[in-house]
Structure 1
C-alpha cells in the first residue's frame, strides 16, 4: 500500500478509511476498516468521533468525491489544507471563514502529502457549491474540513484524497451522479497500485 512510505510503522489494520457514502467506496475497500459518515459536516463529525473512540486508529484516510474548477474530472487530488467555506460571521467583524472566539485558523493545515498526486485546498460546507472562482480553495466537498479538524485535535495523522467528480458549475449535480461510482477504482489505483509504490 502506497501509504506505507509515509507511515512505515502504521499497519492497514490500524488505518481507518472514512467515506461519506458507500458509493464512493464500492467493493474495493471491503477488506479494510471503513466508516460511512453520511453527507455533511455534522454527520461526519458524529460518525468519525464514534469511530475513533471505538477503533482507536493510528491513521485516518478520508476518501471522497469533490468538485473543482481547477482540476479535471477523474483526477485524484491530495488535500492538505482545509477551509470551512460556509462559516461567515463578517457582520460581527470577523474575517470570512473565521470561526469566532476559537484558535482554529481560517486555513486549517493538517494532512500528509502523497508523492505523485497534486495538492489542493478543500473548502467544506453544508451546501452543494456551484461557483468558487475567487475563493481561497480549489476543491469543494461537504465533510473534509471537520474530519481534518477532529484528526488534528486527536493527534492522529490524516490523509485526504478527493476524486474530482464535477467542475462545481451548472452541470455539477448531473456530473456527480455519474462520476461518483468511478471514485473507488481511482482511489484503488492511487493507494494500492504497485507501480505507484515505487515512486
Structure 2
C-alpha cells in the first residue's frame, strides 16, 4: 500500500478541469494539506497531524517529485511521458541518484516480533528524530519500492486530451486513467474523424 505514495506524489501535478494544469504543491499550505490527505499511507512513518510544511520542506518534496516523475517517464518509455513536464524532465541518472540520497537520510532498523501463538513479523523502526527527514525519506522509499516492483511494468501516462496523470494499468485493454478521460479521448477521436471526412469531401476533384 505504501507504494501508492509514489503515484500520489506524482499526481500532485494534475489536470485542473478547465483545460489547464494545476500543482497542489505550490504553497506550504498546499503541501501541508497534501501530507494530511496521505495520513493512512504515512502511518508509522511520521506524525502527520503534527507536520506543517515550511518552505524548505515544500522545496524538498517538489524536488523529490521531479525525480519521481523523471523516473516515471523513463518507466513508460518508449511511449510518451506525461506532457505536463516532458520538456523539462530531470535527467534520469540525476533523478536516480537524488532518490537514493533522500532515501538514505533516514536510518531504519528491522525489528522482529514473534508471538507464541503466531508467525513472526518484521517492522522497521526509525533512528531519526526529525519528522521532516522521516517524511521525505518515506516518500523516496515508496518510490523505490514502486519502481523496483512489478507495478512498474504496468505504469502508463494517460493519453487522453489534457490529462497529465500517470496511472497503473489494471486490466489488459485499459488506455486511460479513469472513465472520464476515456470519454474525452473517444470524443476527440470522433471529432477528428468527422473533421477529416468533411475536409476530404470538400476537396476539389
- The two structures have a TM-score, normalised by structure 1, of 0.26
Larger strand proportion, structure 1 or 2?
Answer: 1
Greater relative contact order (Cα < 8 A, sep 6+): 1
